[in-house]
Structure 1
Amino acid sequence: MTVTEQAATGRRDRKKRQTRAALTAAALRLVAERGLEHVTVEEISEAADVSSRTFFNYFTCKDDALIADLAVDRDRVVARLAAAPPQVPAVPAVRIALDEAIDTMESERELWRLRLAVIAQNPALLPRLMAGNIETERAMIQAIGARLGVDPDHGHPALVTAVAGAAFRTAMLRWAADTDGRPLRDFVDEAFAAVVAGLPDPSPTS
């Protein structure tokens, strides 16, 4: 591929990412304002300044526009988990694997806060979200089992996946509700440090 062809490919990929992001932002904004049942693909497309045909080049339905990018993150997290140094224990390895996702979420804080609010306000999204979570958990269990040299049915990979997932979700929800502007990384580090320490009880607060 020539330099000119590489540049053209880079521009096309960048344009695709921009279009996908615009559709997601439009879908989240409209659904937050009106509710899931009162927003159409046509309205999302119009808000993103593209055609409905273009919408379906990126998403199968409006629900996908709201939550499909979570699956994209999954692939990158699993790849980073597999690449983590072999001497790192499983839970800290998962924490390392989340670095890129954390940076992305931090750079899109308002969008993620909106996404979490939309999911909370529209329970109809939960079955699709849960299906995606099951796929993520399976991929994580496979990757952790491979790291540890144990069969995925051993039990430990599934336990690590469940605990790490709960820690990350707790951190993410605290971050979304935070009004002081603390970075997501702080909340995630606190949650994973507590897990690694064996979840000691915190001191009472006044």
Structure 2
Amino acid sequence: MESPQERRERRRREKRQVIRRVAVRMALDGGPEAATVEAISAAADISPRTFFNYFASKDEALVMEPVWQSEELMELLQARPDDEPVFQSLKAVSKELGVRKRPVWEEMQPFIELHNRHPELSAKARAIGQSKVMEQTLDIVRRQPGIKSGLHARLLVIGSFGAMISAIQESLDTGEPVEELLDEAFTLLEHGL
């Protein structure tokens, strides 16, 4: 059962998502310039003052939050056996995250479309948190046995994230089970494509 604080936090997250969806839909329909704080607020049935309780700016409302939370990723990586090869650890973590995050990616399609139309928004999105997740993941991977260099660690992490994202996108496009596509993606990666 949710505590009052958990319920407030959940409701806050839900309201934030409603406002964000309204902002993205408005920007898709009329361009980012049409998505003013006032217009977003009116469409979301809130005041501009309330808008600023959830977002610091309209730009923040137009970028998707990072799909992976660094805490979740770090917890999964650190739970892997110490003697497990790094590639196998990244494969297991990526598979678990891929299954968990596929529904989130489905909800992100309007953001992806918006960012494809307006690439300037993508730079802002990357600055919001993906680099933090990448750096924390690299920090853990660099310290694992068998890692030959910083480049080796970086290629493993980027390859794993790429395999996971590709499998999720393919699942969304084709309807194939993400678990099977994740297995195929990592097999391809492991065998040098």
Aligned to 1:197: 191
Deviates more, 1:117-126 or 1:101-110: 101-110
Q: 1:144: Cα distance to partner?
A: 1.2
1:188 partnered with 2:178? no
Aligned to 1:203: none
Give the Cα separation in 1 of the matches to 2:150 and 2:35. 45
Aligned to 2:138: 141
Aligned to 1:21: 17
Aligned to 2:163: 167
Deviates more, 1:87-96 or 1:20-29: 87-96
Query: What are structure 2's unaligned runs of at least 5 residues?
Result: none
What percent identity do the matched residue pairs reach?
A: 28
Distance 1:45 1:90, change over 3 A: farther
The one-letter code sitting in structure 1 at the alignment partner of 2:9 is D
Q: CA RMSD in A?
A: 2.9
Aligned to 1:202: none
CA contact (8 A) 1:92 1:192 kept: no
Aligned to 1:33: 29
Among 94, 104, 108, the residue aligned to 1:112: 108
Residue aligned with 2:14, SS = helix
Residue aligned with 1:87, SS = coil
**TM norm structure 1:** 0.75
Distance 1:75 1:122, change over 3 A: farther
In the comparison of the two structures, how many residue pairs are matched?
192
Distance 1:103 1:55, change over 3 A: farther
CA contact (8 A) 2:68 2:133 kept: no
Q: 1:30: Cα distance to partner?
A: 1.9
Aligned to 1:158: 154
Distance 1:50 1:95, change over 3 A: farther
Residue aligned with 2:186, SS = helix
Give the Cα separation in 1 of the matches to 2:179 and 2:55. 30
Aligned to 2:85: 89
Give the Cα separation in 1 of the matches to 2:55 and 2:67. 12
Give the Cα separation in 2 of the matches to 1:15 and 1:191. 37
1:34-90 deviations in Å (ceiling 9; x for gaps):
222221123223333333333323322233223352166344223322222323322
1:67 partnered with 2:53? no
1:97-135 deviations in Å (ceiling 9; x for gaps):
345643453334542222211111111112223334333
Greater relative contact order: 1 or 2 (C-alpha under 8 angstroms, separation 6 or more)?
2
